[in-house]
């Protein structure tokens, strides 16, 4: 792509280190970003920090690999840098960073990690603060985020006894494709914030355990890299953020179909990004203190920008039901709406001939006080049965749930209530952020073991025997019942913080 194929010395690049002339190096290529500075969704300041230098390490986790190629005209691609001559960016290792390195060295061995909560506790201790803030943050007061998990506490089992459970099998099919468990790895953005291999960790672990990975639009790894890394026959889905420029979306969707993606999950709950204050505060506190004093409020700091908001401007808030036929005209992949939150919308999706819906509130990251997916599931099953005579799980119109799942026990409750499968997101992020591929591998093994035990204790030999009669969900819609607290979950929950006085 470099316009000239020219080799440029690091010394020459280093001279272009100002707002007037700003060159940066990413993956050995030199780019002139001077005219792009004010258009950068993350602000100009961060680019200027790397002006004249190699920005690869900062760039990688938060940009899709082809972002520069897409956004910078070819004439701004100046050529290749001579690797011998690149100035190393001196990164000061703070005491805080040293302490984090110590914590990484002192991680427990994987054999001491007994459940998915454990990964979260370790991830919180070892991840860079910004990355932790981005992954863990949720909307407003994070009520929905916590409710997603708490809702499972209002469902209790009615197990059956004296059934021969020597052999138990919790495998299933999702959109017609085999899955070893009734769960899939749902889409979560910016995997390289947590680990240098990003979403590749998930691709590899999904292959090993026979589960399906949903590739996110905003993966840190390139889409093709994730597809190329799949084993022959490995099934992958794609999550789609719809671009304001429909030509871009069309190209992406059709490319995905050509590459063998087996289901398109269109995100419908994020016309605007939710307000994730943990993420926002991180960014805010990382700014130059001189600019955020009470005396200098000329809005030099854009307080609205967490990591996520910075890159969300391409998403189309104009997406509408009337776009659905267009999607149906550009692809034969099954279409699923991800982020449905009431039966009326689920019914409309069914009537339009879609393949299913994900009952989800985006991990509590969008509208606070949205109900949990598992609560919405009950009303969707009830109304679609009453109005269209459907029974669930249903091959033709599949219901998925995500949010708050930490144990196979949670997953099986959703299956009993009619879900085909459940999406799990953050726990896998925490698993690879703390232990890379082996972490995700271990997380899936834990879930495997939990499924085996729970199936036996429930008296269910296959998922067909995990039926509505096996659960008491009569309190699910009541938001005030007292149940024992989940200490593991609660102790991982990091309270939001108020704004703080400056240190004097």
Distance CA 276, CA 141 (A): 9
Distance CA 409, CA 405 (A): 9
Q: Does 218 bind ligand PPY (CB under 6 A)?
A: yes
**Which residue, among 441, 446, 399, 389, has the nearest Cα to 423 in the 3D structure?**
399
Q: Give the β-pairing of 23-26 and 29-32.
A: antiparallel
Active site residue 269: yes
**Which residue, among 202, 352, 339, has the nearest Cα to 265 in the 3D structure?**
339
Distance CA 188, CA 199 (A): 9
Q: Does 193 bind ligand PPY (CB under 6 A)?
A: no
Cα 189 to chain centroid distance, Å, stands at: 4
Q: Does 243 bind ligand PPY (CB under 6 A)?
A: no
**Which residue, among 153, 256, 141, 170, has the nearest Cα to 478 in the 3D structure?**
153
Binder to ligand PPY among 362, 371, 407, 442 (CB under 6 A)? 362
Q: Return the range that interacts with ligand PPY (CB under 6 A); candidates 74-82, 100-108, 307-315, 408-416.
A: 307-315
Q: Which of 32, 269, 402, 410 is catalytic?
A: 269
Q: Give the β-pairing of 172-174 and 177-179.
A: antiparallel
Active site residue 60: no
Binder to ligand PPY among 9, 85, 243, 312 (CB under 6 A)? 312
| Phi-psi sector, 418: left (phi>0), alpha (psi -120 to 50), beta | left
CB of 273 to ligand PPY, least distance (A): 5
Q: Does 365 bind ligand PPY (CB under 6 A)?
A: yes
CB of 218 to ligand PPY, least distance (A): 5
Distance CA 463, CA 22 (A): 59
In 3-state terms, what secondary structure has residue 24? strand
Q: Does 242 bind ligand PPY (CB under 6 A)?
A: no
Q: Does 33 bind ligand PPY (CB under 6 A)?
A: no
Q: Return the range that interacts with ligand PPY (CB under 6 A); candidates 221-229, 304-312, 424-432, 454-462.
A: 304-312
Let me know how long the chain is: 504
CB of 398 to ligand PPY, least distance (A): 22
In 3-state terms, what secondary structure has residue 126? helix
CB of 444 to ligand PPY, least distance (A): 22
Q: Does 238 bind ligand PPY (CB under 6 A)?
A: no
CB of 270 to ligand PPY, least distance (A): 6
Q: Return the range that interacts with ligand PPY (CB under 6 A); candidates 87-95, 306-314, 380-388, 399-407.
A: 306-314
Q: Does 273 bind ligand PPY (CB under 6 A)?
A: yes
Active site residue 241: yes
For residue 201, the surrounding DSSP H or E stretch is helix 200-209
Q: Which residues are catalytic?
A: 241, 269, 362
Binding residues for ligand PPY (CB under 6 A) = 189, 218, 273, 308, 311-312, 362, 365
């Amino acid at each position: 792509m470099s316009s000239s194929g020219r080799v440029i010395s690091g010394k020459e690049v280093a001279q272009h280190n100002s707002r007037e002339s700003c060159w940066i190096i990413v993956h050995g290529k030199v780019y002139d970003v001077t005219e792009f500075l004010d258009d950068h969704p993350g602000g100009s300041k961060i680019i200027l920090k790397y002006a004249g230098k190699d920005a690869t390490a900062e760039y990688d986790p938060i940009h899709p690999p082809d972002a520069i190629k897409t956004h910078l005209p070819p004439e701004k691609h100046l050529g290749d840098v001579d690797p011998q001559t690149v100035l190393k960016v001196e990164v000061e290792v703070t005491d805080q960073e040293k302490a984090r390195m110590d914590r990484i060295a002192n991680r427990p061995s994987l054999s001491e990690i007994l459940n998915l909560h454990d990964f979260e506790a370790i991830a919180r201790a070892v991840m860079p603060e910004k990355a932790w803030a981005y992954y863990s943050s949720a909307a407003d007061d994070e009520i929905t985020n916590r409710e997603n998990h708490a809702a499972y506490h209002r469902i209790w089992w009615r197990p059956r006894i004296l059934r021969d459970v020597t052999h138990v099998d919790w495998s299933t099919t999702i959109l017609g494709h085999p899955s070893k468990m009734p769960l899939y790895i749902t889409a979560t953005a910016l995997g390289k914030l947590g680990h240098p291999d990003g979403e590749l960790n998930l691709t590899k672990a999904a292959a090993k355990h026979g589960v399906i990975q949903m590739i996110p639009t905003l993966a840190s790894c390139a889409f093709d890299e994730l597809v190329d890394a799949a084993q022959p026959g490995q099934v992958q889905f794609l999550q789609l953020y719809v671009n304001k420029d429909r030509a871009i979306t069309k190209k992406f969707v059709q490319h995905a179909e050509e590459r063998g993606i087996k289901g398109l999950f269109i995100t419908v709950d994020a016309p605007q990004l939710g307000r994730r204050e943990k993420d926002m505060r991180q960014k805010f506190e990382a700014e130059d203190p001189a600019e955020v004093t009470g005396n200098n409020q000329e809005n030099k700091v854009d307080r609205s920008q967490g990591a996520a908001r910075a890159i969300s401007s391409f998403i189309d808030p104009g997406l509408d039901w009337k776009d659905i036929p267009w999607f149906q005209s550009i692809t034969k992949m099954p279409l699923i709406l991800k982020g449905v939150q009431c039966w009326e919308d689920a019914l409309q999706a069914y009537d339009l001939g879609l393949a299913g819906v994900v009952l989800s509130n985006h991990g509590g990251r969008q509208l606070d006080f949205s109900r949990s997916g598992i609560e919405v599931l009950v009303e969707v099953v009830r109304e679609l049965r009453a109005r269209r005579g459907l029974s669930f799980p249903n091959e033709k119109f599949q219901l998925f749930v995500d949010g708050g799942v930490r144990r196979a026990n949670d997953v099986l409750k959703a299956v009993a209530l009619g879900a085909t499968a459940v999406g799990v997101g953050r726990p896998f992020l925490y698993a690879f952020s703390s232990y890379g591929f082996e972490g995700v591998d271990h997380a899936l093994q834990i879930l495997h073991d939990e499924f085996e035990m729970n199936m036996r204790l429930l008296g269910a030999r296959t998922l067909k025997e995990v039926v509505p009669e096996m659960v008491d969900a009569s309190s699910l819609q009541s938001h005030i019942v007292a149940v024992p607290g989940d200490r593991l979950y609660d102790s991982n929950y990091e309270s939001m913080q108020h704004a703080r006085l400056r240190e004097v």
